[in-house]
Structure 1
């Protein structure tokens, strides 16, 4: 009798564990959806045979937007002077050559005065040389006087050329230098100009203070093109190379951008032990701001996988399903999905190559199945 009781208990326990519902396994009940060819055509339901497709192998890595160092300039005055006027503020857009501030520079006034004096001496030396030459040719004056006048003329020319080079170094054009003798502009006036077009991102200049070449007055950045630096960890370094396609997701309502890696730094950073890969991106609207964090999806190769279009996937009873055609009709079969790329989804389990599934129009089948579950549907 005991043996019979133990046998019954064992069979009861076995039945409990073999029942997926009682054992706690969540699954979609396999109900058949039958649709006629006319309905399939009317609702534009497209069937396809499951097959392997080439999908990109993608690695996702953290990235950051930074300004191109070659497009960032620190503007400093080349002479010391008191700030008379500041014409631009933080955040202003400027063009190349535009005046940022005006300085009164005693140093510049002395240099211009020296130039004007040298020009006067050159005119006198030229006139004296002309007279001495005439007198020497007529044997009225000595050769020594003639040679002295010639030497003075050459020294005056050298002095003028030296001062012209100094003024050119300070940013004055030959036209500006030629205007010095008309006396229309103060000799100490120095205009600090922008060397590039861009945005003023820093300003360290106030009216009345002394500006010197040792201190940055403005920082200007041209953000029409920016860099995206991707942190490439050591385990991915053998896979990441120049020329690979990258999709950069910024979030915050900023559209994703695509580009290619144009440089991978061979030196690892000490703090993270990662290398940096660079992507150059055009930034005409200025939405890519330095410091913005992003995620870079780098295509490191391609692989054959079983994949279906995203339109084939439906959610039913909390599970992801695909409607697969079987002998009696269509069955909502749960599947396990992998990567999503280019409108396709990798299927890890639940579907086999060669099986026929609903690639488009699966929503119609799901609605039909839900109606049947509610007792309101009908079969076609």
Structure 2
């Protein structure tokens, strides 16, 4: 049995070249306090042997140690990075090609719903759109007509012979209003000419007062008819414009109402307005992430607000910490944590961002959340983890990795490297945090020591001593 054990040790250290020589006494300046010497052999290794043995060479120096307390917990979705997705219309699912675990981008198509309800609303929207456009055109036509009538009125107010005015407004498309106004204007001009002639004849005593009075009455009548025609035309224009503007406002209001109804269905409500796509309603992802839940299949009837998908952004997750009543005083917002899982070789730093104010009546525990980054998506929601909460920190002038320590001949030692030689150095330790340990004596800052796999050197040294 002893030979078999020796063979095992020799096999583990097959890459080490052993040279038996007395251990070199450390120089006084290399110690913070005089250590006891460890009797035995030193080990001499080449660079290739160090690499083959996978020895981790580290430099001793100052370190921040942490007072850590372990809590049980599990990984959970970040509630601010998850969204349940539902249909806003009733219908039948025609396309559902995204599956649980599939990564998607914001805007990716998740499902297509065929909805008669949506088609009716879209058709109403298009009809209101047509009526609004028609009302705009009619109003524009009436406004243009009003402008042409104003040009006619301005020409009449400038005065002149009816024939010249008629030629000036010949190209204006006004309709019967133009001929009516020109007729009244011609009568007014004729009555004006007759009155002026009778007035001159009366002054020359060539006409009677009755004839002058008759001419004056005819002039007043023609003027009243002309002014009345102008006022009637102006009133009709204003009234017609008011009616068309009111019609346009009603059409626009109906269009806005139809549009608002479609907008309640999200961005997809106002798309797919062509006749062959009226019933199509697309559901797209509002965020990039992973499909974590699916509750719809093709051909399934869908009701409004029924959850169809759940998409989560897993690039950041929560570590839910379970805290018993007796340990609540150890948890506070802002504390740094380290999350570890038995099934993973990795750890993730984080920070406590939320502590629930209530204690569960059954488990007598509260819950806190630590926010951790998850770029590789290795931290899966539901995974049980250990959460190491940092309660406090302190700075020490000299510390090494805890795994570097070995027990040799009843003493605590560290293997230090001097050139190609590795020597066990007895040390005196102080405070520790589970990962690192304070060195009070036996080592100085800057010394190169073996961290990981230092047990290989211990095994080789023991084997050499037995031989």
The TM-score with structure 1 as length reference comes to 0.69
Q: Larger relative contact order (C-alpha < 8 A, sep ≥ 6)? A: 2
Shift of 1:369: 6.4
Is 1:156 paired with 2:251? yes
- After the TM superposition, which residues 1-380 of structure 1 pair with which residues of structure 2 at under 5 Å, given as runs? 36=22, 38=24, 49=33, 55-132=65-142, 134=145, 139-140=232-233, 141=236, 144-172=239-267, 180=273, 183=274, 185-302=276-393, 310=402, 313-315=405-407, 321-322=411-412, 340-344=433-437, 374=466, 376=467
Greater share of helix: 2
Shift of 1:129: 3.3
What do you get for the CA RMSD once the two structures are aligned? Answer: 4.2
Q: Runs of 5+ in structure 1 lacking a partner?
A: 1-34, 325-330, 347-352
> Greater CA deviation, 190-199 or 335-344?
335-344
Shift of 1:40: 6.2
Provide closer, same or farther for how the CA distance between residues 82 and 50 of structure 1 changes in structure 2, counting only shifts above 3 A: farther
Shift of 1:204: 1.3
Greater share of strand: 1
> Number of paired residues?
320
CA-to-aligned-CA distance 1:204-225 (integer Å, 9 cap, x gap):
1111221121311111111011
Provide closer, same or farther for how the CA distance between residues 188 and 245 of structure 1 changes in structure 2, counting only shifts above 3 A: same
CA-to-aligned-CA distance 1:11-65 (integer Å, 9 cap, x gap):
xxxxxxxxxxxxxxxxxxxxxxxx8464769xxxx765389x9843221111211
In 2, Cα distance between equivalents of 1:279 and 1:73: 20
In 2, Cα distance between equivalents of 1:70 and 1:300: 27
SS at match of 1:125: helix
CA contact (8 A) 1:99 1:191 kept: yes
In 1, Cα distance between equivalents of 2:401 and 2:275: 76
Provide closer, same or farther for how the CA distance between residues 274 and 339 of structure 1 changes in structure 2, counting only shifts above 3 A: farther
CA contact (8 A) 2:402 2:436 kept: yes
SS at match of 1:270: coil
CA contact (8 A) 1:245 1:299 kept: yes
Provide closer, same or farther for how the CA distance between residues 311 and 84 of structure 1 changes in structure 2, counting only shifts above 3 A: closer
Q: Runs of 5+ in structure 2 lacking a partner?
A: 1-20, 36-62, 150-176, 178-231, 415-423
SS at match of 2:76: strand
In 1, Cα distance between equivalents of 2:374 and 2:279: 40
